[in-house]
Amino acid sequence: MKITLAKTSPLLQPNFVFGVATSSFQIEGAADSREPCIWDTFCDTPGRIKDNSDGKVACDHVARWRDDIELIAGLGVDAYRFSIAWGRVINRDGSINEAGLAFYQQLLDALQAKNIKAFVTLYHWDLPQYLEDHGGWLNRNTAYKFAEYTDIVTKAFGDKVYSYATLNEPFCSAYLSYEAGIHAPGFQNRQQGRQAAHHLLLAHGLAMRVLRKNAPHAKNGIVLNFSPCHPASNSAADVRAAEMADQYHNQWYLQPLLEGCYPPLLAELAANEQPLMVDGDMAIIAEPIDFLGVNYYTRTVYRANEKGWFSDVPPTTPPLTDMGWEIYPKGLTEILLALHQRYTLPPIYITENGAAMPDTLLQDKVADQHRVDYFQQHLQATEDAIKAGVDIQGYFAWSLMDNFEWAEGYAKRFGIVYVDYVTQQRTLKNSAIALRDVFANRR
Protein backbone atom coordinates (compact mmCIF):
# COMPACT_ATOMS: atom_id res chain seq x y z
CA MET A 1 0.00 0.00 0.00
CA LYS A 2 3.03 2.28 0.26
CA ILE A 3 4.58 4.47 -2.43
CA THR A 4 8.33 4.52 -2.12
CA LEU A 5 10.80 6.93 -3.66
CA ALA A 6 14.56 6.79 -3.21
CA LYS A 7 15.84 9.20 -0.55
CA THR A 8 17.83 10.93 -3.29
CA SER A 9 14.83 11.23 -5.64
CA PRO A 10 14.54 14.65 -7.31
CA LEU A 11 10.83 14.49 -6.46
CA LEU A 12 11.74 14.74 -2.77
CA GLN A 13 13.72 17.96 -3.18
CA PRO A 14 12.24 20.93 -1.27
CA ASN A 15 11.46 22.94 -4.42
CA PHE A 16 9.49 20.15 -6.16
CA VAL A 17 5.75 20.88 -5.99
CA PHE A 18 3.26 18.14 -5.11
CA GLY A 19 -0.42 18.85 -5.50
CA VAL A 20 -3.93 17.61 -6.18
CA ALA A 21 -6.30 18.83 -8.87
CA THR A 22 -10.00 19.35 -9.59
CA SER A 23 -12.17 21.30 -12.03
CA SER A 24 -15.16 23.57 -11.46
CA PHE A 25 -18.00 21.78 -13.24
CA GLN A 26 -16.89 18.39 -11.92
CA ILE A 27 -17.07 19.30 -8.23
CA GLU A 28 -18.77 22.64 -7.55
CA GLY A 29 -22.49 22.04 -7.87
CA ALA A 30 -24.48 25.17 -6.91
CA ALA A 31 -25.70 25.40 -10.50
CA ASP A 32 -28.43 27.85 -9.50
CA SER A 33 -25.87 30.51 -8.51
CA ARG A 34 -24.10 30.64 -11.89
CA GLU A 35 -25.01 30.93 -15.55
CA PRO A 36 -25.80 27.67 -17.38
CA CYS A 37 -22.86 26.25 -19.33
CA ILE A 38 -22.57 23.96 -22.35
CA TRP A 39 -22.29 20.94 -20.04
CA ASP A 40 -25.63 21.75 -18.41
CA THR A 41 -27.18 21.74 -21.86
CA PHE A 42 -25.35 18.55 -22.81
CA CYS A 43 -26.53 16.81 -19.63
CA ASP A 44 -30.10 17.82 -20.42
CA THR A 45 -29.88 16.15 -23.85
CA PRO A 46 -31.07 12.52 -23.63
CA GLY A 47 -28.42 9.89 -24.34
CA ARG A 48 -25.42 12.19 -23.89
CA ILE A 49 -24.41 11.18 -20.34
CA LYS A 50 -24.07 7.44 -19.75
CA ASP A 51 -25.84 7.39 -16.38
CA ASN A 52 -28.20 10.28 -17.26
CA SER A 53 -26.71 12.41 -14.48
CA ASP A 54 -25.73 16.08 -14.40
CA GLY A 55 -23.48 18.55 -12.60
CA LYS A 56 -26.13 20.45 -10.68
CA VAL A 57 -24.89 19.18 -7.29
CA ALA A 58 -21.73 17.17 -8.12
CA CYS A 59 -19.59 17.19 -4.95
CA ASP A 60 -21.41 20.21 -3.51
CA HIS A 61 -18.02 21.93 -3.22
CA VAL A 62 -19.40 25.47 -3.25
CA ALA A 63 -21.22 24.69 0.00
CA ARG A 64 -18.49 22.47 1.46
CA TRP A 65 -15.33 24.25 0.33
CA ARG A 66 -14.07 24.98 3.86
CA ASP A 67 -14.08 21.29 4.74
CA ASP A 68 -12.52 20.48 1.39
CA ILE A 69 -9.65 22.92 2.03
CA GLU A 70 -9.04 21.20 5.38
CA LEU A 71 -9.04 17.87 3.52
CA ILE A 72 -6.47 19.18 1.01
CA ALA A 73 -4.29 20.64 3.76
CA GLY A 74 -4.44 17.32 5.61
CA LEU A 75 -2.81 15.61 2.64
CA GLY A 76 0.30 17.73 3.11
CA VAL A 77 0.33 19.08 -0.45
CA ASP A 78 2.24 22.14 -1.63
CA ALA A 79 -0.37 23.17 -4.17
CA TYR A 80 -4.00 22.88 -5.23
CA ARG A 81 -4.96 23.10 -8.89
CA PHE A 82 -8.57 24.13 -9.53
CA SER A 83 -10.52 25.93 -12.23
CA ILE A 84 -12.77 28.98 -12.34
CA ALA A 85 -16.27 28.60 -13.76
CA TRP A 86 -16.52 31.44 -16.28
CA GLY A 87 -20.31 31.54 -15.80
CA ARG A 88 -19.92 31.90 -12.03
CA VAL A 89 -17.95 35.09 -12.55
CA ILE A 90 -19.46 36.81 -15.62
CA ASN A 91 -23.21 37.12 -16.09
CA ARG A 92 -25.00 36.86 -19.41
CA ASP A 93 -25.31 40.67 -19.63
CA GLY A 94 -21.55 41.06 -19.12
CA SER A 95 -21.82 42.24 -15.52
CA ILE A 96 -19.71 40.66 -12.79
CA ASN A 97 -21.27 38.07 -10.48
CA GLU A 98 -19.82 39.52 -7.28
CA ALA A 99 -20.89 36.56 -5.12
CA GLY A 100 -19.27 34.12 -7.54
CA LEU A 101 -16.05 36.10 -7.62
CA ALA A 102 -16.09 36.31 -3.81
CA PHE A 103 -16.35 32.51 -3.58
CA TYR A 104 -13.03 32.12 -5.40
CA GLN A 105 -11.43 34.97 -3.43
CA GLN A 106 -12.35 33.22 -0.17
CA LEU A 107 -10.92 29.98 -1.53
CA LEU A 108 -7.65 31.74 -2.41
CA ASP A 109 -7.46 33.39 1.04
CA ALA A 110 -7.96 30.02 2.74
CA LEU A 111 -5.24 28.39 0.61
CA GLN A 112 -2.88 31.27 1.37
CA ALA A 113 -3.56 30.86 5.10
CA LYS A 114 -2.59 27.18 4.78
CA ASN A 115 0.53 28.04 2.76
CA ILE A 116 -0.83 26.08 -0.22
CA LYS A 117 0.04 27.46 -3.66
CA ALA A 118 -2.99 28.21 -5.87
CA PHE A 119 -2.69 26.88 -9.43
CA VAL A 120 -5.69 28.40 -11.20
CA THR A 121 -7.03 27.14 -14.53
CA LEU A 122 -9.10 29.78 -16.27
CA TYR A 123 -10.94 27.41 -18.61
CA HIS A 124 -11.72 23.75 -17.98
CA TRP A 125 -14.40 23.14 -20.64
CA ASP A 126 -17.47 24.78 -19.04
CA LEU A 127 -18.15 27.52 -21.60
CA PRO A 128 -21.14 29.68 -20.63
CA GLN A 129 -24.15 28.68 -22.74
CA TYR A 130 -24.75 32.35 -23.58
CA LEU A 131 -21.46 32.30 -25.52
CA GLU A 132 -22.29 28.96 -27.17
CA ASP A 133 -25.55 30.56 -28.31
CA HIS A 134 -23.39 32.91 -30.41
CA GLY A 135 -21.24 30.11 -31.84
CA GLY A 136 -19.01 29.23 -28.89
CA TRP A 137 -15.46 28.37 -29.92
CA LEU A 138 -16.50 28.53 -33.59
CA ASN A 139 -16.95 32.27 -33.09
CA ARG A 140 -13.67 34.19 -33.16
CA ASN A 141 -15.16 36.74 -30.76
CA THR A 142 -15.19 34.11 -27.98
CA ALA A 143 -11.38 34.35 -27.86
CA TYR A 144 -11.66 38.07 -27.14
CA LYS A 145 -14.40 37.45 -24.57
CA PHE A 146 -11.98 35.05 -22.87
CA ALA A 147 -9.34 37.79 -22.68
CA GLU A 148 -11.90 40.13 -21.07
CA TYR A 149 -12.85 37.44 -18.54
CA THR A 150 -9.13 36.86 -17.80
CA ASP A 151 -8.69 40.58 -17.18
CA ILE A 152 -11.57 40.70 -14.68
CA VAL A 153 -10.46 37.60 -12.78
CA THR A 154 -6.77 38.48 -12.56
CA LYS A 155 -7.46 42.03 -11.37
CA ALA A 156 -9.76 40.65 -8.67
CA PHE A 157 -7.35 37.95 -7.49
CA GLY A 158 -4.29 40.17 -7.25
CA ASP A 159 -1.18 38.39 -6.01
CA LYS A 160 -3.02 35.44 -4.43
CA VAL A 161 -2.43 33.11 -7.38
CA TYR A 162 0.89 31.29 -7.77
CA SER A 163 0.19 30.07 -11.29
CA TYR A 164 -2.38 30.60 -14.03
CA ALA A 165 -3.13 28.13 -16.80
CA THR A 166 -5.19 29.69 -19.58
CA LEU A 167 -6.75 26.46 -20.88
CA ASN A 168 -6.98 22.85 -19.80
CA GLU A 169 -6.64 20.37 -22.68
CA PRO A 170 -7.79 22.36 -25.73
CA PHE A 171 -7.66 19.01 -27.57
CA CYS A 172 -10.77 17.98 -25.60
CA SER A 173 -12.52 21.33 -26.07
CA ALA A 174 -11.89 21.16 -29.83
CA TYR A 175 -11.61 17.56 -31.00
CA LEU A 176 -13.85 15.73 -28.51
CA SER A 177 -16.39 18.58 -28.45
CA TYR A 178 -16.65 19.84 -32.03
CA GLU A 179 -15.19 17.00 -34.10
CA ALA A 180 -15.84 13.65 -32.38
CA GLY A 181 -19.00 14.90 -30.69
CA ILE A 182 -18.61 13.01 -27.41
CA HIS A 183 -18.17 16.14 -25.26
CA ALA A 184 -20.29 19.30 -25.07
CA PRO A 185 -21.52 20.86 -27.29
CA GLY A 186 -21.40 17.58 -29.24
CA PHE A 187 -20.76 18.55 -32.87
CA GLN A 188 -19.19 16.22 -35.45
CA ASN A 189 -17.40 18.22 -38.10
CA ARG A 190 -13.68 18.24 -38.91
CA GLN A 191 -13.51 21.86 -40.03
CA GLN A 192 -15.36 22.92 -36.89
CA GLY A 193 -12.94 20.90 -34.75
CA ARG A 194 -9.95 22.60 -36.36
CA GLN A 195 -11.64 26.01 -36.15
CA ALA A 196 -12.45 25.57 -32.46
CA ALA A 197 -8.83 24.53 -31.83
CA HIS A 198 -7.56 27.67 -33.56
CA HIS A 199 -9.85 29.98 -31.61
CA LEU A 200 -8.94 28.25 -28.34
CA LEU A 201 -5.24 28.78 -29.04
CA LEU A 202 -5.95 32.38 -30.03
CA ALA A 203 -7.81 32.82 -26.73
CA HIS A 204 -4.76 31.45 -24.92
CA GLY A 205 -2.42 33.92 -26.63
CA LEU A 206 -4.69 36.89 -25.97
CA ALA A 207 -5.04 35.83 -22.32
CA MET A 208 -1.26 35.45 -21.95
CA ARG A 209 -0.91 39.13 -22.85
CA VAL A 210 -3.41 40.02 -20.12
CA LEU A 211 -1.63 37.77 -17.61
CA ARG A 212 1.73 39.39 -18.39
CA LYS A 213 0.20 42.75 -17.51
CA ASN A 214 -2.04 41.83 -14.56
CA ALA A 215 -0.13 38.92 -12.98
CA PRO A 216 3.53 39.43 -13.91
CA HIS A 217 4.80 37.57 -10.84
CA ALA A 218 2.67 34.46 -11.39
CA LYS A 219 3.82 31.49 -13.45
CA ASN A 220 1.59 31.71 -16.51
CA GLY A 221 1.11 28.98 -19.10
CA ILE A 222 -1.21 26.34 -20.50
CA VAL A 223 -2.13 22.70 -19.83
CA LEU A 224 -2.08 20.19 -22.71
CA ASN A 225 -2.81 16.48 -22.70
CA PHE A 226 -0.40 14.09 -24.40
CA SER A 227 -0.55 10.46 -25.37
CA PRO A 228 2.34 8.71 -27.15
CA CYS A 229 1.10 7.46 -30.52
CA HIS A 230 2.29 3.92 -31.28
CA PRO A 231 1.75 2.03 -34.57
CA ALA A 232 -0.35 -1.15 -34.42
CA SER A 233 2.29 -2.93 -36.53
CA ASN A 234 5.64 -2.30 -38.20
CA SER A 235 3.96 -1.74 -41.58
CA ALA A 236 4.79 1.55 -43.28
CA ALA A 237 1.09 2.42 -43.36
CA ASP A 238 0.62 1.97 -39.59
CA VAL A 239 3.85 3.80 -38.78
CA ARG A 240 2.64 6.66 -40.94
CA ALA A 241 -0.79 6.53 -39.25
CA ALA A 242 0.79 6.87 -35.81
CA GLU A 243 2.89 9.82 -36.99
CA MET A 244 -0.22 11.53 -38.41
CA ALA A 245 -2.10 10.94 -35.15
CA ASP A 246 0.78 12.46 -33.19
CA GLN A 247 0.65 15.59 -35.35
CA TYR A 248 -3.15 15.79 -35.17
CA HIS A 249 -3.63 15.16 -31.46
CA ASN A 250 -0.35 16.15 -29.77
CA GLN A 251 1.70 18.54 -31.89
CA TRP A 252 -1.34 20.44 -33.21
CA TYR A 253 -1.63 22.24 -29.87
CA LEU A 254 2.04 22.51 -28.85
CA GLN A 255 3.80 23.42 -32.09
CA PRO A 256 1.81 26.66 -32.59
CA LEU A 257 2.59 27.69 -29.01
CA LEU A 258 6.34 27.11 -29.26
CA GLU A 259 7.06 27.56 -32.97
CA GLY A 260 4.20 29.69 -34.28
CA CYS A 261 2.95 27.22 -36.88
CA TYR A 262 0.72 24.17 -37.22
CA PRO A 263 2.22 20.75 -38.04
CA PRO A 264 2.77 19.79 -41.73
CA LEU A 265 -0.41 17.66 -41.59
CA LEU A 266 -2.40 20.91 -41.93
CA ALA A 267 -1.49 20.98 -45.64
CA GLU A 268 -2.94 17.47 -46.08
CA LEU A 269 -6.40 18.54 -44.97
CA ALA A 270 -8.86 19.52 -47.67
CA ALA A 271 -9.16 23.29 -48.04
CA ASN A 272 -12.70 23.22 -46.63
CA GLU A 273 -11.45 21.37 -43.51
CA GLN A 274 -8.71 23.84 -42.62
CA PRO A 275 -9.28 26.52 -39.99
CA LEU A 276 -9.79 30.12 -41.06
CA MET A 277 -6.97 32.29 -39.73
CA VAL A 278 -6.21 35.99 -39.69
CA ASP A 279 -2.77 37.52 -40.29
CA GLY A 280 -1.02 37.90 -36.95
CA ASP A 281 -2.89 35.06 -35.23
CA MET A 282 0.13 32.77 -35.00
CA ALA A 283 2.23 35.50 -33.38
CA ILE A 284 -0.45 35.95 -30.71
CA ILE A 285 -0.71 32.19 -30.16
CA ALA A 286 3.08 31.93 -29.75
CA GLU A 287 3.25 34.37 -26.82
CA PRO A 288 6.01 33.07 -24.50
CA ILE A 289 4.81 30.83 -21.66
CA ASP A 290 6.38 30.39 -18.23
CA PHE A 291 5.46 26.71 -17.97
CA LEU A 292 3.82 23.87 -19.84
CA GLY A 293 1.35 21.67 -17.98
CA VAL A 294 1.41 18.06 -19.15
CA ASN A 295 -1.59 15.79 -18.51
CA TYR A 296 -0.88 12.10 -19.05
CA TYR A 297 -3.03 9.00 -18.62
CA THR A 298 -2.13 6.40 -21.24
CA ARG A 299 -0.68 5.73 -24.70
CA THR A 300 -2.73 5.24 -27.88
CA VAL A 301 -2.16 2.67 -30.64
CA TYR A 302 -3.08 3.53 -34.25
CA ARG A 303 -3.53 1.71 -37.53
CA ALA A 304 -4.02 3.02 -41.04
CA ASN A 305 -7.61 3.00 -42.26
CA GLU A 306 -9.13 2.74 -45.72
CA LYS A 307 -9.53 6.54 -45.95
CA GLY A 308 -5.76 7.08 -45.80
CA TRP A 309 -6.17 8.41 -42.29
CA PHE A 310 -5.68 6.84 -38.84
CA SER A 311 -7.90 4.87 -36.45
CA ASP A 312 -7.13 4.04 -32.85
CA VAL A 313 -6.97 0.44 -31.71
CA PRO A 314 -8.65 0.07 -28.29
CA PRO A 315 -6.52 -1.86 -25.77
CA THR A 316 -7.66 -5.30 -24.63
CA THR A 317 -4.64 -6.62 -22.75
CA PRO A 318 -4.61 -5.95 -18.97
CA PRO A 319 -3.80 -4.01 -16.92
CA LEU A 320 -6.54 -1.55 -17.87
CA THR A 321 -8.20 1.16 -15.80
CA ASP A 322 -11.95 1.33 -15.24
CA MET A 323 -12.06 3.65 -18.29
CA GLY A 324 -10.62 0.82 -20.37
CA TRP A 325 -7.33 2.69 -20.73
CA GLU A 326 -4.06 0.79 -20.81
CA ILE A 327 -1.80 1.37 -17.80
CA TYR A 328 1.43 2.35 -19.54
CA PRO A 329 3.69 4.33 -17.21
CA LYS A 330 6.76 4.32 -19.45
CA GLY A 331 4.67 6.30 -21.95
CA LEU A 332 4.96 9.30 -19.63
CA THR A 333 8.75 9.18 -19.75
CA GLU A 334 8.60 8.58 -23.49
CA ILE A 335 6.40 11.57 -24.32
CA LEU A 336 8.36 13.90 -22.01
CA LEU A 337 11.67 12.91 -23.60
CA ALA A 338 10.22 13.19 -27.11
CA LEU A 339 8.99 16.73 -26.41
CA HIS A 340 12.29 17.61 -24.73
CA GLN A 341 14.24 16.49 -27.79
CA ARG A 342 11.85 18.12 -30.27
CA TYR A 343 11.35 21.56 -28.70
CA THR A 344 12.96 24.18 -26.50
CA LEU A 345 10.58 23.68 -23.60
CA PRO A 346 9.72 25.92 -20.67
CA PRO A 347 9.63 24.26 -17.22
CA ILE A 348 7.04 21.48 -17.00
CA TYR A 349 4.47 20.51 -14.40
CA ILE A 350 2.70 17.16 -14.58
CA THR A 351 -0.69 18.80 -14.04
CA GLU A 352 -2.83 15.64 -14.20
CA ASN A 353 -2.04 11.98 -13.75
CA GLY A 354 -4.29 9.35 -12.27
CA ALA A 355 -6.63 6.45 -12.89
CA ALA A 356 -10.28 5.51 -12.61
CA MET A 357 -10.68 2.25 -10.71
CA PRO A 358 -13.77 0.24 -9.64
CA ASP A 359 -13.61 1.43 -6.02
CA THR A 360 -15.67 -0.05 -3.20
CA LEU A 361 -16.17 1.52 0.22
CA LEU A 362 -16.01 -1.21 2.88
CA GLN A 363 -15.99 -0.41 6.60
CA ASP A 364 -14.94 3.21 5.90
CA LYS A 365 -11.97 2.11 3.79
CA VAL A 366 -11.21 1.96 0.08
CA ALA A 367 -8.42 -0.51 -0.68
CA ASP A 368 -7.47 0.87 -4.11
CA GLN A 369 -4.16 -0.94 -4.45
CA HIS A 370 -4.28 -0.70 -8.26
CA ARG A 371 -4.33 3.10 -8.00
CA VAL A 372 -1.49 3.07 -5.45
CA ASP A 373 0.51 0.99 -7.95
CA TYR A 374 -0.42 3.41 -10.74
CA PHE A 375 0.93 6.39 -8.79
CA GLN A 376 4.06 4.48 -7.80
CA GLN A 377 4.83 3.66 -11.43
CA HIS A 378 4.06 7.12 -12.79
CA LEU A 379 6.02 8.96 -10.10
CA GLN A 380 8.95 6.73 -11.04
CA ALA A 381 8.38 7.56 -14.72
CA THR A 382 8.43 11.27 -13.82
CA GLU A 383 11.70 10.78 -11.94
CA ASP A 384 13.18 8.93 -14.92
CA ALA A 385 12.35 11.88 -17.18
CA ILE A 386 13.95 14.35 -14.77
CA LYS A 387 17.11 12.25 -14.61
CA ALA A 388 17.17 12.23 -18.42
CA GLY A 389 17.26 16.02 -18.44
CA VAL A 390 13.64 17.20 -18.54
CA ASP A 391 12.92 20.20 -16.29
CA ILE A 392 9.87 19.01 -14.32
CA GLN A 393 8.96 21.16 -11.34
CA GLY A 394 5.84 19.52 -9.95
CA TYR A 395 3.29 16.71 -10.04
CA PHE A 396 -0.48 16.87 -9.47
CA ALA A 397 -2.57 13.79 -8.78
CA TRP A 398 -5.89 13.65 -10.63
CA SER A 399 -8.11 13.93 -8.90
CA LEU A 400 -8.57 15.12 -5.36
CA MET A 401 -11.95 13.41 -5.14
CA ASP A 402 -14.43 11.37 -7.12
CA ASN A 403 -16.55 13.69 -9.24
CA PHE A 404 -18.66 14.18 -12.35
CA GLU A 405 -16.63 12.42 -15.02
CA TRP A 406 -18.07 14.24 -18.04
CA ALA A 407 -19.86 11.93 -20.50
CA GLU A 408 -19.34 9.02 -18.07
CA GLY A 409 -21.37 10.77 -15.36
CA TYR A 410 -20.66 9.51 -11.82
CA ALA A 411 -19.93 5.90 -12.85
CA LYS A 412 -16.14 6.37 -13.00
CA ARG A 413 -14.09 7.28 -9.94
CA PHE A 414 -10.73 9.04 -10.40
CA GLY A 415 -10.47 10.43 -6.88
CA ILE A 416 -7.95 9.65 -4.19
CA VAL A 417 -10.83 10.60 -1.89
CA TYR A 418 -14.06 8.59 -2.10
CA VAL A 419 -17.29 10.60 -2.35
CA ASP A 420 -20.65 9.18 -1.33
CA TYR A 421 -22.89 11.25 -3.61
CA VAL A 422 -25.95 10.78 -1.40
CA THR A 423 -24.40 11.95 1.88
CA GLN A 424 -21.42 13.87 0.38
CA GLN A 425 -19.22 12.08 2.91
CA ARG A 426 -15.53 12.18 1.92
CA THR A 427 -13.31 9.17 2.77
CA LEU A 428 -9.58 8.97 2.15
CA LYS A 429 -8.77 6.02 -0.10
CA ASN A 430 -5.57 4.07 0.50
CA SER A 431 -4.04 5.98 -2.43
CA ALA A 432 -4.61 9.28 -0.60
CA ILE A 433 -2.93 7.89 2.49
CA ALA A 434 0.00 6.56 0.43
CA LEU A 435 0.49 9.92 -1.32
CA ARG A 436 0.11 11.79 1.99
CA ASP A 437 2.94 9.67 3.41
CA VAL A 438 5.16 10.50 0.43
CA PHE A 439 4.47 14.21 0.84
CA ALA A 440 5.07 14.03 4.61
CA ASN A 441 8.38 12.23 4.24
CA ARG A 442 9.92 15.26 2.55
CA ARG A 443 9.60 17.45 5.61
**pLDDT-derived band of residue 440, with 50, 70 and 90 as boundaries?**
confident
CA distance 260 to 277: 13
At residue 71, the pLDDT reads 98
Alpha helices in 158-277 (DSSP H): 170-171, 190-214, 236-245, 252-259
Among 298, 302, 325, which residue's Cα sits nearest to residue 232? 302
The answer to whether 178 touches 196, Cβ cutoff 8 Å, is: yes
What DSSP state is assigned to residue 14? T
More confident: 156 or 1: 156
Task: Please give the positions annotated as active site.
Answer: 169, 352
Give the separation between CA 228 and CA 243, rounded to whole angstroms.
10
Structure confidence at residue 394 (pLDDT) = 98
Q: Average pLDDT for residues 64-85, to the nearest whole number?
A: 98
Residue 169 has a pLDDT of 98
pLDDT value at position 443?
61
Quote the mean pLDDT of the chain.
Answer: 98
What pLDDT digit, counting tens, does each position of 260-310 carry?
A: 999 999 999 999 999 999 999 999 999 999 999 999 999 999 999 999 999
Q: List pLDDT tens digits, range 210-247.
A: 999 999 999 999 999 999 999 999 999 999 999 999 99
Q: What is the mean pLDDT of residues 41-47?
A: 98
Buried b (16+ CB within 10 A) or exposed e, 68-103: bbebbbebbbbbbbbbbbbbbbbbeeeeebeebbeb
DSSP string, 345-401: ---EEEEE---------BTTB---HHHHHHHHHHHHHHHHHHHTT--EEEEEEE-SB
Query: pTM for the full model?
Result: 0.98
Residue 121's alpha-carbon distances to 81, 150, 200, 436, in angstroms, are 7, 10, 14, 24
Number of C-beta neighbours around residue 357 at 10 A: 22
Question: Which conformational region is residue 64 in: left (phi greater than 0), alpha (psi within -120 to 50 degrees), or beta?
Answer: alpha
Distance CA 346, CA 362 (A): 44
Q: Report pLDDT digits (tens) over 178-193.
A: 999 999 999 999 999 9
